[in-house]
Structure 1
Amino acid sequence: MTKDVIALTPRMPDPWAVLAGLLSGGPDKLVDTAGEGAVVQLCDAQGRPLVSVEAPLLVQVEGEAERLLGATPPPVPFWWTEARATTGVPEAERLAGTFAARLASLSGGTAWPPEAARSLAVVASDGVGVAPTPAAAQPAVDVLTGNVAVVIMDRPVVAMTAWLADAFRACAAAERGLQIVTPPGTKLSPAVMSVMPGWPSRWVVQDQQDGYYDGLSGAVLRWQEGMFATVVPADATEDDPRTPVAASYRQAAETGERQLAVTYRTIHPADDRLVLGGSVETVWRELTGGPPGGWGTAEPANLPWSPGRLTDVAYARAPEPTWFVVVGSPDRPGIATVKVTRTKAGVEEDVTLAFGYGPDEDVPLDALRRTAEVLATRHRLQSMLVQLRKARRDLLVPPRFEGPGVPLAFVLGAEEVRAMPDDRARNTPLSQPPVRLGPKARPAYYYPLPGDPSDLSGWADFERLVRHLKGA
């Protein structure tokens, strides 16, 4: 049974309904709180958590339950209440299912996974055991070692939930890696991949043939020295490590689906009148014809699109950086991550954005130049890279090989152009000259690149261009 259960309800769960669900395990279970009251825990007699319940989240964005759970929720707005059971305690998993089922029954909703809705019986509590402290003290973590924290997730999509974000922050503070272990059918949200730190953090996929492998690289893994690490053959050398790649990772199929990926940075003067998110909305409107569907500081994205509210959150958190996720509508898959940072140069927005297209859908390549010009002239664009990839329309990351993107265009903002000596930004070694964006007195430049998905030679042109612009 899954260790995560979620209740999707049309009404906000009543506190008495929540308490009834928590106490469904019997009178020997005790209630405690964590995270400044945002997390309610069902504990054993020693005070160790069995089930941790997040505060209910009001979701006002279409398609999030379908995208992250494959579930049919009530009509928006609806409430998303998530519970996580302590690993290795069968009773804890049954308690989580019972809690979600009671909550859904009392609030007129549904429980995910579907089998959790049938978990209405009181769970016996004799002989309960839990993971030892400190692992049990952090309900998001299943195994804790000196090197890493391990999170085991049995969900269709590993999303950047609030509790997973907390786990990332806790691991960074403790200088540990975070390793996420999933079954083979699970996929990764691009939002998680955007914040996944380097080694020893990784996505670990269980595999019947090879045991475990890295979901992003395919490298076969083994549990050794307190973490999942790559298998090194006895005859490996530093120049030829010969890391084995899992057979399941190599099973790729041509579907005709594609992704248009846009990565860029804007720098704004620090001003009380500044409104953030305008550049993201510009890209969305230019490439899809409409604004984003919603946003949030975690997944599911729960708030209707509003640059003003997004700005308020970033302003309240300053000078600390703020991370956002922005999503599209169900009929046009799109997702962006936005990191807002206060620096000496001003307020920076680092944006990674992608849209998905099926084999019979046209990618709006003719809108790219116009999009770049609007960003350069209205949103203080510093630089932008546009790529085309052969990858899933739904934008989720599968645990198998997907080819790299190819560069379609690079854009250099007006301030960057002005800072370059001579006429370096305009006279490049590329066969095709750049396109001027904006006024002649303060130009930005759009550099078209070959962009053939079956030909990676465009990266050589991109590398030549970047070396030239840097004066190398």
Structure 2
Amino acid sequence: MADPFGPQFAPQPAPEPDPGAPHPLADRVGQADDGTRWVATETRSRIVHLSAARANLLALAARDERRPVLISDELSSLTPAFARIWRDSGGTWVVRQADGALRNGFDGRRLSRLEESWTQPRPQSVDDYSIGYLRIPEGADILQVTTLVGLRHPARERTLLGEPLDVLAKRMDSTAGLAWGTHEPVGEPWDRRRATDVIRAEMPRLTTVVAAGPGLSATIGAQRTEFGVEEIDHLVTGIGAPDEATFAAVRSRLADVFRRVAETGMPLVGLQLVHPGRRDLAVPPYLLPPPLPLALFVGAPAVRSFGLDVALMRERHGAEVVGRPRLPALLFELGPVGLEAWQRLDRILAAFNPTLLEEALGMAAGSLSRIRSEAPSEPDPDAPHPDTPDQEGGPDA
């Protein structure tokens, strides 16, 4: 039988646009001093979503080897799907402040030129930040939980993608109104078979669809690899402002995503983090307190690839053994919520052989590395925080 996820099932490519014809959203193009070619799009939208036009701009930027740059004012926020796909495509975000100064919308670094949004490293001290970025954002009054799951599937006709979203929506009572699409706003009722067919039609290249429901936003991406079909899902759900007892119950239901996929599929790795945010789940151009890890999941293939001792992991780190008896996976609850949870996570990850990371975790290895690199390595009382008083006496000039 022919491989249903093979390249021979990819649709015929559409006619290439005229390279000389400007994209309607391309407000400026240029080349930086470091040789990077870029294309910038400006917006005044209060919520910037992954519209069909923006998705097309990303595709053309990739074809022309240009870095996409979003330019907005301080009133624009991004949907989680747009923020993730824009960044994964190499995109940057430049915020033009009311006083005319620039800053990086993702990390708050002061900028003097547009190209510094990708040439300058993440801020290392308070002096690197724009004061505007440190202001307390309005409406960040709930907790959000981000769930990252990487899975591996056989390239078969009956393979279905998106199970983590299915499980999460059911556990959080968000199935009513759950919809999906190839761009935002989504409008088609959630259907795993339909979403899988759309992604499969674009194999072997990486293709991502988006989904949204009440208090829920998700991206589901997959590509064909030598190991089969690699899937990576990012799920963001709002859980309100629960008290301690309610939060513990919600936390257990969220971890059921890992328990379930360990029983029915072949997940590679998973991570759950909690962070303050807005009810609309939008990503604001302001600093929020750092995300804090709740749980780490290590699937059966990774347990085997890393040579992890299941009994030792249970004894030393309190791992819960989940999945099928012959294919054990490990679920690590990372204890009380706090910056120390990052240290507990690091102690567990120290058992992973870094040379096997990419092979064992597939696409999820990159996401896991990015999350870890952007998080604090230890509690730091001097780290910038929205409540930090003005250190410079006023807006940056």
TM-score by length of 2: 0.75
Mark the CA change 1:241 to 1:457 in structure 2 (over 3 Å): closer, same or farther.
closer
CA separation in 2, counterparts of 1:231 and 1:243?
18
Mapping for residues 18-167 of structure 1, pairs under 5 Å: 137-146=22-31, 147-167=37-57
Indicate conservation of the 8 Å contact 1:157/1:186, yes or no: yes
**Structure 2 portions without partners, runs of 5+:** 1-12, 32-36, 356-397
How many angstroms does 1:375 deviate by?
0.9
How many angstroms does 1:242 deviate by?
7.8
How many angstroms does 1:431 deviate by?
5.3
How many angstroms does 1:374 deviate by?
0.7
Indicate conservation of the 8 Å contact 2:109/2:122, yes or no: no
Deviations 1:195-233 (A, max 9, x none): 23479841111212352211111112233xxx442699x
> Which of residues 267, 280, 297 in structure 2 aligns to 1:411?
297
How many angstroms does 1:155 deviate by?
0.8
Indicate conservation of the 8 Å contact 1:335/1:355, yes or no: yes
Mark the CA change 1:345 to 1:239 in structure 2 (over 3 Å): closer, same or farther.
closer
SS in 2 for 1:280: helix
The answer to which structure, 1 or 2, has the higher relative contact order (CA under 8 A, 6+ apart) is 2
CA separation in 2, counterparts of 1:319 and 1:198?
18
How many angstroms does 1:340 deviate by?
1.1
Task: Tell me what 1:322 maps to.
Answer: 207
Deviations 1:57-108 (A, max 9, x none): xxxxxxxxxxxxxxxxxxxxxxxxxxxxxxxxxxxxxxxxxxxxxxxxxxxx
Mark the CA change 1:200 to 1:291 in structure 2 (over 3 Å): closer, same or farther.
closer
1:270 maps to a residue whose letter is: A
Mark the CA change 1:299 to 1:369 in structure 2 (over 3 Å): closer, same or farther.
closer
1:465 maps to a residue whose letter is: I
1:208 maps to a residue whose letter is: A
CA separation in 2, counterparts of 1:321 and 1:253?
34
How many angstroms does 1:150 deviate by?
1.0
> Which of residues 435, 438, 457 in structure 1 aligns to 2:340?
457
- More deviation, 424-433/436-445: 424-433
Mark the CA change 1:339 to 1:289 in structure 2 (over 3 Å): closer, same or farther.
closer
Q: CA RMSD in A?
A: 3.3
Deviations 1:241-281 (A, max 9, x none): 88632222101258541101100111111111112223321
CA separation in 2, counterparts of 1:281 and 1:317?
22
Task: Tell me what 2:173 maps to.
Answer: 288
Indicate conservation of the 8 Å contact 1:429/1:464, yes or no: no
Indicate conservation of the 8 Å contact 2:314/2:321, yes or no: no
Task: Tell me what 2:353 maps to.
Answer: 470
> Which of residues 438, 442, 451 in structure 1 aligns to 2:323?
438
How many angstroms does 1:429 deviate by?
9.4
Task: Tell me what 1:308 maps to.
Answer: 193
1:343 to 2:225 alignment: yes
Give the structure with the larger helix fraction.
2
Indicate conservation of the 8 Å contact 1:161/1:300, yes or no: yes
- More deviation, 432-441/338-347: 432-441
CA separation in 1, counterparts of 2:107 and 2:170?
34
Give the structure with the larger strand fraction.
1
Deviations 1:400-430 (A, max 9, x none): 0012211111111122223343x52441498
Mapping for residues 201-216 of structure 1, pairs under 5 Å: 201-209=91-99, 211-216=101-106
Indicate conservation of the 8 Å contact 2:94/2:117, yes or no: no
Indicate conservation of the 8 Å contact 1:189/1:397, yes or no: yes
Mark the CA change 1:289 to 1:302 in structure 2 (over 3 Å): closer, same or farther.
closer
Deviations 1:25-81 (A, max 9, x none): xxxxxxxxxx979x9xxxxxxxx9xxxxxxxxxxxxxxxxxxxxxxxxxxxxxxxxx
Indicate conservation of the 8 Å contact 1:412/1:444, yes or no: yes
Mark the CA change 1:200 to 1:245 in structure 2 (over 3 Å): closer, same or farther.
farther
Task: Tell me what 1:130 maps to.
Answer: none
Task: Tell me what 1:276 maps to.
Answer: 161
TM-score by length of 1: 0.64
Mark the CA change 1:170 to 1:394 in structure 2 (over 3 Å): closer, same or farther.
same
> Which of residues 264, 272, 279 in structure 1 aligns to 2:149?
264
Task: Tell me what 2:64 maps to.
Answer: 174
CA separation in 1, counterparts of 2:98 and 2:128?
15
Indicate conservation of the 8 Å contact 2:146/2:272, yes or no: yes
Task: Tell me what 1:87 maps to.
Answer: none
2:101 maps to a residue whose letter is: G
Mark the CA change 1:430 to 1:197 in structure 2 (over 3 Å): closer, same or farther.
farther
CA separation in 1, counterparts of 2:354 and 2:52?
43
CA separation in 2, counterparts of 1:395 and 1:156?
13
Q: Percent identity?
A: 24
CA separation in 2, counterparts of 1:337 and 1:249?
27
SS in 2 for 1:137: coil
Indicate conservation of the 8 Å contact 1:426/1:433, yes or no: no
Indicate conservation of the 8 Å contact 1:259/1:390, yes or no: yes
1:251 to 2:135 alignment: yes
2:80 maps to a residue whose letter is: P
Task: Tell me what 2:393 maps to.
Answer: none
1:193 to 2:193 alignment: no
Aligned length: 333
Mark the CA change 1:445 to 1:36 in structure 2 (over 3 Å): closer, same or farther.
closer
Indicate conservation of the 8 Å contact 2:317/2:348, yes or no: no
